[in-house]
Structure 1
Amino acid sequence: MPGKPLLIFPSPSTTKRKEEKPRFGTTPYHFPDFQNQKDRLTPQFETMLQSFITDTADGLEPENVLVIETVGEIEDFQRAVRYIHGLEWLAEIDEEAIEPDDDFYQTCKIKKTLFSEKIKHIKRKQSSQIWGLLLKNAFIDKNGYLLDKDINEFQQFIPIEFSEYSEEIVKIARDEAISHRKQLLSGRLFLSMSNKQAIDKLLSLWTQWDSGDKKLPRPYGKWTEIFKQTRIIRKWDTQDRLRDTGIIDYWKEELEIKKGTASKITFEIELWYRNDDAQRQEIQEKISNLIFNENGSIITTCTIKEIRFHAIKAELPPQNIEKVLNSEYTKIFSCNDVMLFRPVGQCRVAVSPEGTERDFESGNTNGEPIVAMLDGAPFTHHNLLKNRLIVDDPDGFESDYQVSFRKHGTAMASLVCHGELDAQEEPLQRPVYFRPIMKPDPNDFKNNPPWENIPKEYFMEDLIERSVRRIFERDSNQGVVAPTIKVINFSIADSAKMFFNQLSSCAKLLDWLSYKYQVLFCVSAGNINTDINIQKNINELRTLSNDALLRHTTSKIHEDIRNRKIFSPADSINSITLGSIHSDKSTTNNIGNRFDILPNQKLPSPISAHGLGYKNSIKPELYINGGRQLYNVVNNICSVSDSGLAPGQCVATTPATGGEINRCVYIRGTSNSAALATRAAAQIYEMLNSLLSGNGISIDDNNIAVVLKTLIVHGASWGEGSNILESTLKTIENSRSFKKVIARYMGFGIPDIHRVLECTSQRATAIGYGKIKKDTRHDFRFPLPPCLSGRNEMRRLIITLAWFSPINPANRKYRKANLSFEPPTDSIGVDRANADWQQVKNGTVQHEVLEGSEVVSYQDGDFLKISVVCREDAANLDEEVYYGIAVTLEVSESVDLRIYEEIKDRISIPIQIEEKTQ
């Protein structure tokens, strides 16, 4: 055990969460007036009705998916659907970046201080007086929102004392209004399966809605709000099924290879999830017959109720796909039971070059495995991996793997067990459980050895679910294979499923599994291996200073940030997602013609995918060394160099000739970062195990993984990389929200694992844990050290809270458990630094770094009260939620204050949870 081990919080007191007043306010959006809305939507309703009549006459399906596109927020749409016979709720999808028009736009809110901020000679009180005149004369409402009245007319109401500024005052208000009207809007897509009876009823309600203010009769009152805010009402059509999934580009690429051959083109069909088992089976058979009718075949199907996922993997002849690309749609492509057509998952990993030989010695492990890996089969005879892996291969994937093809799993296992070989760290003491889920691609004729991928005869979702269930549950043929697992490494990403607002099915699966089994997934963000248009040739780049080159490269990456988002399943809310820092432990002697376009080891790698995550949560949470990625620069275009030489991260690899067991190679990428994060979690586990046993504490097994999740994030901070990003990317337009820009590139920051393994005299860390119910509060007490009272020393307070949330995939809010805390800033003289205070609460980790040097006096015995509160987010939170919390208080190592000892003397070990009610 370290000389200054982490401290353990006493058990928290439990109280009922205080009731919060609901927050009401005028919507910031302008909607069409009643008559305009009638004129806009009546033709759309009539078109919908006519389409049902036409389809029925033609003998087509009597059901269509109804799409209602709205602006602004509307809650309880599912309830509104229940009262319309013939409507079946399917999904709600958040929409961002909706273009405003004359009917829908953002309403301008005039602040009371606006005119004093814009006009030098107007004071705050006078500005408030002008605001009052706007209200009195009905130019704004009581909340400050501009009303539908010509602002130019306000000039006649401006008092004589402001007459010299009257034109300027009106211009300021007008400019504010214009600026707001240009802002992009947000809204929702409401999707329901509907028949003609349902459309008839909706049309009847629409006809009854004869006044913009009059509500429809019960139980249809919610439709008044829906009608008011609806932009478009239409059918889900073929274009919806093909748009924004990457399927068109995928089919074009496949046609280039397979056109004119007997080979078929494989793709995925995701169906609208129906709750009734028999109905799902009937739909699946119908889709299968449509595929058979086009000389196609069904490869496999997948249904996972817990995430509302139902899909078919099928294949069709090239000529059938070519018709689709020519806009000739057969019945399968116009089938209303189909939600989306998707490419086959592109979970493919490139092989690494052959590398070089070194002298490595094998070793032994002891104990039960804590870490599991899902990856390609490893080369277990390598000296670095011998006796370290428990390979479990019930699907027989290893039989399809030549030894020389086992690149990715070998490299990732090397990083998990040993870290970067150049760092010469101690290996993990426990064995690692390993489940192969990839094979060499039998259709990869371009690469030798072929790339490794998820076999096409499987759904990745099905493979992962079966693999994880096998770890924790027994079945009729097999007992539980590795019940001690707390961390699962997943260094695989699906490049065909980049995150755009909607969670992927695989992300939902990881979320469900992580809560069900209380296990932490460490997931790679994905690599962006596309070329970068650097707009300078190699000679121009070489003449730039390092600072100028950093700014230039960063700006070019930022210009393309929309195409550099995380890949599935990195969008999982319960997992820790890892991006890469452009850094490693290697020594570089010769880079040849390769070029480092980012000469700094504190910034994200040029190949790392970035956030944000679901509902603008912070993703990736952490950025860890992923190796320095060099580029080949030709004609102003930078392409990734895949050299096996340094720089990069040195790992074990497969033999180049028979009998080799010591070959290594340099590689780079977010897979490496996820593997190193997994290794760090294993190291934290050993520290935690020693700490708890040393204090005679027995922790609930369900709390262990969330405490590991808490501690791996707890040591993270942005560091100097944020300063470089700020100097390059900060503008007047994004200055107020720039913390969100940094979070997109750096998450919560770069973790320093050593900081959470032990304390120092000037740094004390306490950990706590528990399980909490909805509408409950747990209060932790962190003692204040007397030596810091009345001192003006810079101090840092870090608080991290993490949990696994149960999910509700039928609810757009999705995350059922919303845990949070409010940092006690005043008690210790600190203010928030690093990530945005609201954004940190959008995921399943809240990590707050607070700094300051304000002199604060307090008494010996005073403490910081940190309250963990549990609120329901998505509906039906009936489960208890396990969580971990860590709190650190520190001063500079150069300051002679006994922070650790004084906190240690004042914190006690828990005996039992103290129950209270208020």
Structure 2
Amino acid sequence: MFEVTGSIQNFLNAVSRIAGLEFAGEEELAADEFDDNPEFYLLVPQLDALREIVSLWQGWQRTGSVPRNYGPWRHLFAQLRSVRPWGPADRVSPQNREYFRHSIDGAPDNELVRIEIELVFRAGGDVAQVAEATVAERIRQGGGAVIDRSRRPEFAYHAVLADVPAGEIRRIADLDPASLAGADPVASIVPQSLGTPIEAADRTPVDQARPAARLDDPIAAIFDAVPVQAHPLLAGRLAIDDPANLEARAVGPRVHGTAMASIVLHGDLNDPPSPISRRVYFRPVMYAPTLGDEIFDNDRLVVDVIVDAIMRMRANGGANVIVVNLSLGDQTKPFAGKISTWGRALDHLAFTYGILFLVSAGNVNDGIPLAEFANGAAFEAATTAARAEGTLRGIDAMKADRRLLAPADSLNALTIGAWHRDASTEVFRGASPFVPYDGEEMPNLSSRLGPGLRRSTKPDALFAGGRQRGRLDPVAAPPILLSHPLPSRFWGLKVAAPPENGTMGLHFTMGTSAATALATHSAHRIFDALEEAYPDVLAGMSLPQRACLLKTLLVHTASWRGSEAFIRSVIDSDEAMHHEHWRREVCRHLGYGFVDPDDAIACAGDRATMWATGTIEPEGSMTFDVPLPAIFGSNANPREVRATLAWLAPTRPGYLAYRAVKLRIPSFQADALEMAGIDTVTGQPTNSQSESGTIVHRRWRDERIGTGAATIPVHVQRERDQGVPIDEPIPFGLTVTVEMPGAVGVYDQILPSIQVQPRTRVRA
């Protein structure tokens, strides 16, 4: 283990000069923003070599020099604070040590506990087999057993699921070198994946019917818990594929899968009907036991289940699926700077199969200390503005503990947060629970925060997740703010409910799972609008290009809605932060912004939205000439141009250039906006942060746009691939909108300039 001080790039350069050193997770070289002492792991081929490195380091500490012929080590040691062998503390995180201690509290030593053991990934199959056999034998000798195993070279994954005695778990939690935590082949030891439940409450009768799907061939899928297939709002609308027969094990209330299916099919039932055209493919990956929350199949590694499910889907009724809803997360695996195994798996699957994964950011219900208030009475007596500011300051102080849950860190996926919004019209008259941000557009209190890998924009967008309220811990002083856990007809999305006393009904839910399902419903509506307007074009489009197009259209209308002013007033009250810094802090909460599904789909006369898809070759580029309406040149009213680029990137797990391909919209050329003094607006992520992921979203707003120009050239450029070049063409989607609020002629003036005309008026 090498603990780094100074420049990460200098450390990388120093390592590259020394033959025989191999990174175990080179993508970690972008130090985690909350880690003052970044640690990186290198694989040393022999024990003697490790001893020699430690000896060299100890000599360097004493004398500041290295022996003759060891010159490159001088450059390496100059970047280091410490060198030590990789040990138990590196394999078991402090959070998981506490989890293990709590889970076995009072258990006898021989009680078996199921855990996941991820091995150091070695490319050589023979070496990997020996490592797995070594760990399996250690487990057997300790009185345990291997339950499942998986090795996936395509995304550098090698793991076993095992039962081990509680006595061994205690030794692991205590970092005993003689335990599995001290075994050389082991990379990490974590609890078995634990799904995130949802809350649902306030039951009502089934008071409505919704149109059924017209077509059988699904383009959207849901991977979730077993639903109530017979519910009148779900019956005949789901193509269920349940090879593990989880249906037979789902004997408890089927809350999660039923609610997610309801939202994907119908949206919020408090909204007017917004039917989708096709049945939805549904793969159960969780089930409801007799007691407790819905759980994953505990005899399988969940990452392996998801990979197998995608491959089976392609061959078993989901050949044309391009959107997969994953309103799931692993509450034992919050993001900590290194991309999760789930995230790596989704990145691989997205690029290989041409799929847009929509993943929930995750919820966190831990209390938020409000340190600036003496007690609950002081908080309640404060002004609405002071309470909102105090709430945000409390969340900001806890942001390191409120980060995304795996697999929301996936680069190719869209990660969805929960917007404090729903369609309920019921008025709540009580004083508590209360609205935490009265008058401000903000995420729900429980919605987890970004950013993602290498400070990429996460969550990508926020969709309505219910107007979740807050309440105070009744005894804490200073007060602690809690997110109110129960939805109701006053705040929440209305969804199908499992039967109660033999009667089907509806109830309400909220959170990032619901918001993600609503995003999937919106993606399907966008697809239906495109298919109606451009049937021939869409039919000839590849699955990856369709997925990229939906990805860009989902994010395209996202905006911060002015909330950056409120957030900045709290985290940068004296406006001393650099614009990159304060906008990154806003992005942590809002991503690219809030998305109103109707706005993403509606057609309006004062704007025109153009889209393109294609593939781009290595170091290639394309230019799209975006026409401007004549009305832009005839007055000085406010107008806007926004462009969104999305792609699916191949990945290189374990390498610094994890995202193997980067696309971007470079600065406009001399005849376009920047040269006219028009820059992108500040109410969005910075260009550098936007370009860290697989979406680029830029907005320009100025009364000079279109003065003296009939078109604007928008360039899509593929940068030179880092490391070994990728020969494959990369699929992308591009969406550009020109808009002048209130100028109803914008659409009609631009339409004649478009080569491919819609069969009907374009709705997206």
State the TM-score, normalizing by the size of structure 2.
0.90
- The equivalences for 1:146-545 within 5 A come to 189-199=40-50, 223=73, 225-244=75-94, 246-256=95-105, 259-260=107-108, 263-326=111-174, 328-350=176-198, 352-353=200-201, 355-361=203-209, 363-367=211-215, 368-402=217-251, 404-441=252-289, 449-472=291-314, 474=315, 480-534=316-370, 538-545=376-383
2:584 — aligned with what?
740
Pair 1:630–1:274, CA change in 2 (3 A): same
Is 1:588 the counterpart of 2:522? The answer is: no
1:90 to 24, 30, 34: 24
Decide whether the 8 Å contact of 1:89 with 1:191 is kept in 2.
Answer: yes
1:854/1:365 CA distance change after superposition, 3 Å: closer
Quick one: which amino acid aligns to residue 265 of structure 2? C
Letter aligned with residue 433 of structure 2: R
The corresponding residue for 1:643 is: 486
Per the TM alignment, residue 683 of structure 1 is displaced from its structure 2 partner at its CA by 0.7
Change (3 A) 1:506 1:815: same
1:631 and 2:457 matched: no
Using the alignment, how far apart are the partners of 1:548 and 1:774 within structure 2?
Answer: 53
Residue in 2 that maps onto 1:603: 442
- Structure 1 stretches of 5 or more lacking a match? 1-65, 100-183, 443-448, 475-479, 911-918
Give the C-alpha shift of residue 375 in structure 1. Answer: 0.3
User: 1:696 and 1:597, CA in 2 relative to 1: closer, same or farther beyond 3 A?
Assistant: closer
> Structure 2: which amino acid aligns with 1:94?
L
2:523 is equivalent to residue 676 of structure 1:
no
Paired residue for 2:760?
none
Distance 2:292 2:486 in 1: 17
Kindly provide the amino acid, as one letter, of the partner of residue 628 in structure 1.
R
- Structure with higher Rg: it is 1
**CA shift for structure 1 position 320:** 3.0
Matches within 5 A, 1:116-155: none
Output the amino acid matched with 1:458. R
Distance 1:605 1:282, change over 3 A: same
Distance of 2:417 and 2:590 partners within structure 1: 8
On the 8 A contact 2:412/2:649 being kept in 1, the answer is yes
Q: Conserved in 1, the CA contact under 8 Å of 2:358 and 2:520?
A: yes
Counterpart of 1:843? 693
Deviations 1:483-516 (A, max 9, x none): 0101000000111111111000000000000000
Tell me the SS of whatever aligns to 1:355.
strand
Could you tell me how far 1:379 is from its partner in structure 2? 0.4
Structure 1's 886 and 380: CA in aligned 2 closer, same or farther, altered over 3 A? same
> What residue in structure 2 maps to residue 719 of structure 1?
561
Return the alpha-carbon distance in structure 1 between the equivalents of residues 37 and 619 of structure 2.
30
| CA distance in 1 between partners of 2:630 and 2:68 (Å) | 64
Normalising by structure 1, report the TM-score.
0.75
Cα drift, residue 241 of structure 1? 1.4
Matches within 5 A, 1:611-622: 611-622=450-461
> What is the Cα deviation at residue 260 of structure 1?
3.1
Of the three residues 788, 793, 799, the one matched with 2:637 is 793
1:871 aligns with 2:713: no
1:687 matches 2:529: yes
Counterpart contact for 1:577–1:622, Cα < 8 Å: yes
Q: Do the aligned partners of 2:60 and 2:66 also contact (CA within 8 Å) in 1?
A: no
Q: What do the CA deviations read for 1:452-473 (whole angstroms, capped 9, x no partner)? A: 121221111011001011111x
Partner of 1:562: 400
What is residue 708 of structure 2 aligned with on the other side? 858
- How far residue 522 of structure 1 moved from its aligned partner, in angstroms, is 0.4
Q: 1:850 to 1:297 in 2, by over 3 A?
A: same
2:761 equivalent in structure 1: none
Read off the aligned partner of 2:356 and give its amino acid letter: L
| 1:763 matches 2:610 | no
Could you tell me which amino acid in structure 2 is paired with residue 440 of structure 1? A
| Distance in 2 separating the partners of 1:701 and 1:331 | 48
**Whole-angstrom distance in 1 between the partners of 2:645 and 2:705:** 27
Counterpart in the other structure of 1:902: 749
Q: Sequence identity of aligned pairs in percent?
A: 26
Higher mean alpha-carbon deviation, 795-804 vs 781-790, is at: 781-790
Describe the shift of the 1:733–1:460 C-alpha distance in structure 2 as closer, same or farther (beyond 3 A).
Answer: farther
| Structure-2 separation of matches of 1:240 and 1:209 | 23
Q: 1:363, 1:386 within 8 Å by CA — same for their partners in 2?
A: no
C-alpha change, 1:90 and 1:77, in structure 2 (3 Å) is farther
Distance 1:760 1:326, change over 3 A: closer
Query: What's the secondary structure of 2:97's corresponding residue?
Result: helix
2:739: which partner in 1? Answer: 890
Count of aligned positions: 736
What amino acid is aligned across from residue 435 of structure 2 in structure 1? Answer: D
Corresponding residue SS for 2:319: coil
Cα shift at 1:285: 1.5
Q: Which amino acid aligns with 1:630?
A: R
Give the counterpart letter for 2:560 in structure 1: W
Q: Which moved more, 1:766-775 or 1:275-284?
A: 275-284
Q: Which moved more, 1:778-787 or 1:879-888?
A: 778-787
Contact 1:692 1:698 in 2 (8 A): no
Structure 2 residue runs without a partner (length 5+): 758-764
Deviation per CA, 1:126-177: give whole Å up to 9, x if none.
Answer: xxxxxxxxxxxxxxxxxxxxxxxxxxxxxxxxxxxxxxxxxxxxxxxxxxxx
Please state if 1:655 is matched with 2:503: no
Whole-angstrom CA distance in 2 between matches of 1:421 and 1:789 = 44
Shift in Å, 1:673: 0.7
C-alpha displacement of 1:355: 1.5
The one-letter code sitting in structure 1 at the alignment partner of 2:42 is: L
